[in-house]
Amino acid sequence: MEQEAAAGAAMRCEVVIVGGGLVGLSLAVALGRHGVETLVIDREDPATATAAAFDGRVSAIAHASMAMLHALGIARHVSESQPIWDIRVSDGDSLLFLHYDHRELGTEPFGHMIENRMLRLALLAALAETPGARLLAPVALRRLERGAGGVSAELADGRRIRALLAIGADGRTSRLREEAGIRTLGWSYPQTGIVCTVAHELPHHGIAQERFLPAGPFAILPMTGNRSSLVWTERAELAPAILKLGPAQFQAEMARRFGDYLGRTDVVGPRWSYPLTLHHAETYLAERLALVGDAAHGIHPIAGQGLNMGLRDVAALTEVVVEARRLGLDPGSAAVLERYERWRRFDNVLLSAVTDILNRLFSNDIAPLRLTRDLGLAAVNRTGPLRRFFMRHASGTVGELPRLLRGEMV
C-alpha cells in the first residue's frame, strides 16, 4: 500500500481517514475489506483499548448496524453483547405506555448493547486482519491540503500521506469540517447526559426501558448479566451538583428515578457526563472531502441512534466508493461523493428532527402536553401498523438500505 521506504517519501493510498473513533475505524475496515487501500489516523493510542479498562460507556447497536458488523467480520471479535428483546416507553408514572415486542417482527432482537471499549477492541482486531487498511496512531494531523488532483496529509510526526479522498471522521468538533469552511446548524440542550452502570438483583430479560421524567429521558439499557447502563438526562444547572454527590447520595438520587422493579440496585464503575447538543453540517462534502459520523451530525441520545447514523454513513459511503472504483471512476470526484450525500442527508436530518421533537415534547411536566403525549403513546401502542413501523425504525431497517446494512458485501 504505502511506500515508506525512502525517507521523507509520502505514503500513498486511495482514502485517508482522519479520526479512528468507532465510525472512522468501521469505515477503514469496510473499505479495506473491499480492496480500497485506506489509512486511518488517530491521535489516541490504540494500546489504551484494553478489555480490563471498564469505563461504563455502552452503545445500543441497531439490528441493521449489527448485520454490517457481521458482514465485515467485526462482530465475531465482540466478546460480549446483550440482545435488546423488548423496548418499553413510559411517561413518568403514567399507566399509559408503549411496548415493542421483537416477536411482532420475527425472531431477531431490536439490536445489541455493546460496551464501547469492546467494540473498539473488535474494530482494532478486524482492522489488523484487513490487508487493505491500516491505522497510524497515536498521531495527530498537522495539515491537510486538498486540490483537484488529490489530497496530501501531513502528520504531526512529519510523515506525509497522499490519497484521492480524505474523510473527516474526527468527531463533533471536526477540524476537517472547520478548515473546509463548512458551517453547522444546531443548538445546545439545557440538559446534561449522566451515564453510569447499575448492577441489580433481578434479571432485566433484555428489556430496554425509556422513561420520560420532567428533566428529560431516563433510559435503562440492558447489559450482560444483571447490569444495566443508564443514560440519565438531567437539567444542566442541576447536573454538576448531582455528579459531585458522594456514592451513597448519588445512589439514592439514581434509585429514586430507577425504581425498584429490578430489586436492589448498586451504581458500579465511574459516572460520565456529556453536554447534550444537536449539530448538523450544512453539507457533508467539499473538494475531495466527505464527512461521516459526529463530524457530520450529532443528536440527542434520547433514541440511542447517534452511532447508528454514523454506521449508516459508513455503509452508504463504502457502497458509493466501491461501485465507483469498479466502474473505473475516481472515488474522490464530486459526482461520486454527491451520491453519498444525497443518500444519507435526508435520513440524518429526519432522525435529528424526530429526536429533537421527542425531547422537547417529553422533557417537561406541563399537564395538557403530558395528557396529549400519553394518549399518543397509548394510540401508537394500540395501532399495529404504526407500532410495527416504529419498531422497524428502532431496528434500523427502514428506507433504502445500503447492502452492508442488509448483511451483504458490496
* Residue 126 phi, psi dihedral angles, 5° rounding: -65, -40
The answer to the question of residue 293 lying near ligand FAD (CB under 6 A) is: yes
Among 13-21, 209-217, 378-386, 401-409, the segment contacting ligand FAD (CB under 6 A): 13-21
Residues 174-233 that bind ligand FAD (CB under 6 A): 175, 193, 195, 231
Q: Which residue type occupies 298?
A: G
Q: Report which residue type is found at 403.
A: R
User: Which three-class secondary structure state does DSSP give residue 17?
Assistant: strand
Find the shortest distance in angstroms from Cβ 199 to ligand FAD.
19
How far apart are CB 186 and ligand FAD at their closest, in Å?
14
State which residue, 167 or 321, has the beta carbon closest to ligand FAD: 167
Distance CA 220, CA 26 (A): 26
Of 237, 231, 219, 339, nearest to 285 (Cα)? 339
In angstroms, what is the minimal distance from the CB of 58 to ligand FAD? 7
C-alpha cell at 278: 444537536
Query: Helices 384-395 and 367-382 meet at what angle, rounded to 10?
Result: 90
278 binds ligand FAD (CB under 6 A): no
Residue from 17, 23, 135, 230 binding ligand FAD (CB under 6 A): 23
Q: Are 397 and 64 in contact (CB under 8 A)?
A: yes
Q: Which residue is nearest to ligand FAD (CB)?
A: 21
| Calpha distance 147→90 (Å, rounded) | 52
| 22 is a contact residue toward ligand FAD (CB under 6 A) | yes
Query: Which residue from 11, 13, 15, 21 is in contact with ligand FAD, where contact means CB under 6 A?
Result: 21
- Judged by DSSP in three states, 93 sits in coil
Which residue shows C-alpha cell 453519498? Answer: 340
Residue 111 is a binding residue for ligand FAD (CB under 6 A): no
Report DSSP state, residue 236.
T
Number of residues counted as binding ligand FAD (CB under 6 A): 32
Nearer to ligand FAD, 229 or 265 (CB): 229
Nearer to ligand FAD, 177 or 325 (CB): 177
The closest alpha carbon to 168, from 160, 177, 159, belongs to 177
> Per CB under 6 A, does 59 bind ligand FAD?
yes
C-alpha span between 289 and 139 (Å, rounded) = 20
Among 1, 96, 105, 140, binds ligand FAD (CB under 6 A): 140
The pairing of beta strand 216-223 with beta strand 38-41: unpaired
Grid cell 490519497 is found at 163
Candidates 87-95, 305-313, 387-395, 397-405; binding stretch for ligand FAD (CB under 6 A):
305-313
Interaction of residue 161 with ligand FAD, rule CB under 6 A: no
CB of residue 246 vs ligand FAD: minimum separation in angstroms? 23
What are the residues binding ligand FAD (CB under 6 A)? Answer: 18-24, 41-44, 59-60, 140-141, 169-171, 175, 193, 195, 231, 274, 293-294, 301, 304-308, 310
